[in-house]
């Protein structure tokens, strides 16, 4: 019963999150997912990191806008509020984290591709060795 309740809760929260994302950004989440999936499948990590960087910049500008709105509505802060600084720092940190994650993902895929090529080369050499040991007809 807990599993079913957890599954239903996850489905509902996921649907709400997708609708909220679509409403706030004006982009369809399914199209975003398809674009990211295509970039990963094509190993186009430059485009993927550009996409992540763009989203991080959007997040940062949104946070800065909200900070300025909050500071504007509270005249006692005079633009020096520690909460505003914390939010701005969090936005910058989120952008840096997203960029670092994209770079790390690209490096991991490159390393995996290099190792796969090495394994394929070793397998090819083993097949060639085995074929040379076969008696000729």
Please write the tens of the pLDDT for every residue from 37-86: 887 788 877 887 887 888 888 888 888 888 888 877 765 544 555 777 77
pLDDT higher than 80, residue 13: yes
What pLDDT, on a 0 to 100 scale, did the predictor assign at position 74?
Answer: 60
What pLDDT, on a 0 to 100 scale, did the predictor assign at position 102?
Answer: 78
Residue 82 token pair: 């520690």
Report phi then psi at 136, rounded to 5. -80, 150
CA pseudo-torsion sign 43, 44, 48, 49 = positive
Contact 52, 99 (CB under 8 A): yes
What pLDDT, on a 0 to 100 scale, did the predictor assign at position 80?
Answer: 52
Instruction: Tell me the percentage of the chain whose pLDDT exceeds 70.
Output: 91
Contact 94, 60 (CB under 8 A): yes
What pLDDT, on a 0 to 100 scale, did the predictor assign at position 137?
Answer: 58
Residue 121 token pair: 């080369």
């Amino acid at each position: 019963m807990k599993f079913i309740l957890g599954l239903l809760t996850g489905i509902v929260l996921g649907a709400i999150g997708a609708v909220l994302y679509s409403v706030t950004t004006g982009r369809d989440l399914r199209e975003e997912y398809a674009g990211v999936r295509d970039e990963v499948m094509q190993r186009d990590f430059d485009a993927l990191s550009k996409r992540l960087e763009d989203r991080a910049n959007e997040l940062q500008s949104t946070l800065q806008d909200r900070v300025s709105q909050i500071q504007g509505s509270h005249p006692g802060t005079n633009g020096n509020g520690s909460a505003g600084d914390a939010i701005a720092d969090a936005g910058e940190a989120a952008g840096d984290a997203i960029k670092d994650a994209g770079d790390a993902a690209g490096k991991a895929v490159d390393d995996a591709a290099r190792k796969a090529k090495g394994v394929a080369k070793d397998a090819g050499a083993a097949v060639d060795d085995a074929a040379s040991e076969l008696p000729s007809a």
